[in-house]
Amino acid sequence: MASQLGVTVLGAGPLAAEVERIIRDTGSDLRARIGARLVFDTVSPDLAVDASESARASAPVLDALRAGRSVITANAHTVARHGYALTAAAEQHRGDLYFEAAVGGGVPVVRPLTQSLAGDRVRQVLGVFPHRDDDRTVAQAAILATLAFHTRVEPEEVHRVPSGPVSAHDLAAAESLSLRLRPLTVCTLVSEPPGPEHGGKEGISVRVSPALLPAEHPLAHLDPAVSAVSVTAEGAGHLVFSGPADIPATASALLGDLVTAARDRVHGARAPRPSTYAELPLAPLGDTPTRYYLNLHVTDHAGALAQVATLFADNGVGIARVRQELHDTDAHLIVLTHRAPESALTDTVDALTDSPCVRAVTTRWRVEGTDD
């Protein structure tokens, strides 16, 4: 049993400095928890903590794993883009890869997905992250989908809808329907209906886009600096993980993985491996069921509302709620649809755009987090 373990910290920013400070300041506590003393060692360490932030920082991580070291990383880009190579290197050279801090900073969601829910079946994962870096959000979406659905998902396979201008009128209208706009990560298990026409096949849908959530949803009223992930599983039901995504919280997540990796070294254990056995295909975007919030600028004349309703019905989309606001000779119709395939909703919007009674479809937002 080793009496001490060497650790090196990769990176030169505030996160790396915070990790080094915690190791120095809490050395005796960490030793008691691990069963061995941690010492800084840049020559031949047993453990490497990757606190880098660059999207091109994977080489040192891969080198460490090939040298038989265990790596703890907070870099979502590295895990999402090179996870397969990193896992293979860890397996071949008997190192371990931990990446709790790579998703949501200090939010503990990786371990629940890979361990606590390993015997359950995840149906959907929703995430709200405060990062302004869209590429990082996409990387986190790819990691979440990979873990939740046991299927390797690349960042390039994540459907991205950029945030555009948002009007105060639409925000107020959404609030009147008890809905709130959030930059949402959505990972969904899509099941086709059973029967000879569809075959009951499954696929996955992964996207990052602005979307509406019910006001009572836990992810709808977060502080802007907080990350949160909601997981819906068949057995466990709805689970929510939230917390700050700042440097102290991310450093805490790195230290948690560091203690676990160090214990593994002391006791000869290995980290659990993420599984990608399912190999589910990406579901065509048009097959993904969703709901829409639509703001329609229409002419205010007798029969206009009936014409609009007919277009929805003709395309197989049900209307859940509608609100009409008059503006001089025109009107705005705020429509909340029932759940329908994305293709049906797109066809409906196309039909509305071509209709003489509709001047414009000014806003189209997806609605998530509802049972209907």
- Give the pLDDT of the chain (372 residues) as one tens digit per residue: 678 999 999 998 999 999 999 999 998 999 999 999 999 999 999 999 999 977 778 899 999 999 999 999 999 999 999 999 999 999 999 999 999 999 998 899 999 999 999 999 999 999 999 866 788 999 999 999 999 999 999 999 999 998 888 999 999 999 999 999 999 999 999 986 544 455 568 999 999 999 999 999 999 988 888 999 999 999 999 999 999 889 999 999 999 999 999 999 999 888 888 789 999 999 998 989 999 999 999 987 777 888 999 999 999 999 999 998 877 667 889 999 999 999 999 999 999 999 999 999 999 999 999 876
pLDDT at 237: 96
Backbone phi, then psi, for 163, in 5-degree steps? -75, 135
* In the chain, where the domains are located: 4-104+247-267, 110-243, 287-367
Contact 221, 241 (CB under 8 A): no
Closest to 181 in 3D by CA, of 202, 193, 191, 167: 167
pLDDT at 197: 53
- Tell me how long the chain is: 372
Q: Output the DSSP codes for 236-268.
A: TEEEEEEEE-SHHHHHHHHHHHHHHHHHHHHHT
Contact 228, 184 (CB under 8 A): no
Closest to 173 in 3D by CA, of 353, 322, 338: 322
Which fold, 4-104+247-267?
A: Rossmann fold (3.40.50)
Domain 287-367 has CATH 3.30.70.260: yes
pLDDT at 193: 57
- pTM attached to this predicted model: 0.93
Domain 110-243 has CATH 3.30.360.10: yes
pLDDT at 163: 82
- End-to-end alpha-carbon separation of the chain, Å? 56
